[in-house]
């Protein structure tokens, strides 16, 4: 007769690890940047979140001819030969209150520095209509502030296996 053994129950856990970062890009003399041309951009200083270099790209005259009446704002992954899962929230700051309002939220996605499309987010050309921006609380004294909030997904943390009671 075979011997019966107890089958112990074990457990391990997985926890998502994230790192958050903020970058504020101040654009002074906004009106002087208009007229650069469609597809021309200003890149913010490089900032570091979750182990990766990033920057904000600001297109005052739009990214493409079809969206030339809109400003465009993108988060760009600059680190070389890298894939990273991240989300971002691109906001404009009210110049009188200092509070920011979400303009574009990008959910969790893979940024790939070797792919000309997926190294940027969001994938929309029309961030805000230029006429609306120029009449808004976000542009005052020829000054525009872009606030970017980035969340990077790190490798998951898995616990060691333990007996489950």
The 10s digit of each residue's pLDDT in 74-86 is: 999 999 999 999 9
- Distance between CA atoms of residues 162 and 151, nearest Å: 31
Tell me the percentage of the chain whose pLDDT exceeds 70.
Answer: 97
| 120-136 core/surface letters (b: 16 or more CB in 10 A; e: else) | bbbeebebbebeebeee
State the average pLDDT over residues 139-164: 93
Over the stretch 118-143, which tens digit does the pLDDT of each residue have? 889 987 888 999 999 999 999 999 99
Judge whether residue 1 has pLDDT over 60: no
CB 152 within 8 A of CB 49: yes
What does pLDDT average to over the chain? 92
How many distinct helices (H) and strands (E) make up the chain? 2, 15
pLDDT one-digit tens code per residue, 2-57: 555 677 899 999 999 999 999 999 999 999 999 999 999 999 999 999 999 999 99
Q: Quote the CA–CA distance of 78 and 93 in Å, as a whole number.
A: 24
> Beta strand 14-15 with 157-158: parallel, antiparallel or unpaired?
antiparallel
Q: What pLDDT is stored for residue 12 in this prediction?
A: 92
| Domains of the chain with bracketed CATH | 14-155 (2.60.210.10)
């Amino acid at each position: 007769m075979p011997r019966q053994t107890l089958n112990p129950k074990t457990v391990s856990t997985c926890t998502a690890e994230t790192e958050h970062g903020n970058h504020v890009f101040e654009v002074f003399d906004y009106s002087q940047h208009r007229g650069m041309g469609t597809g021309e951009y200003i890149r913010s200083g490089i900032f570091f979140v979750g182990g990766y270099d990033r920057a904000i790209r600001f297109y005052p005259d739009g990214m493409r001819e079809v969206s030339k009446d809109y400003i465009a704002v993108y988060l760009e992954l600059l680190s070389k030969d890298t894939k990273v899962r991240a989300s971002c929230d691109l906001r404009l700051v009210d110049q009188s209150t200092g509070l920011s309002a979400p303009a574009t939220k990008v959910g969790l996605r893979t940024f790939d520095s070797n792919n000309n499309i997926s190294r940027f987010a969001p994938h929309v050309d029309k961030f805000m209509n230029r006429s609306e921006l120029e009449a808004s609380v976000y542009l005052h004294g020829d000054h525009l502030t872009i606030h970017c909030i980035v969340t990077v997904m790190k490798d998951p943390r898995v616990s060691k296996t333990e007996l489950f009671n």
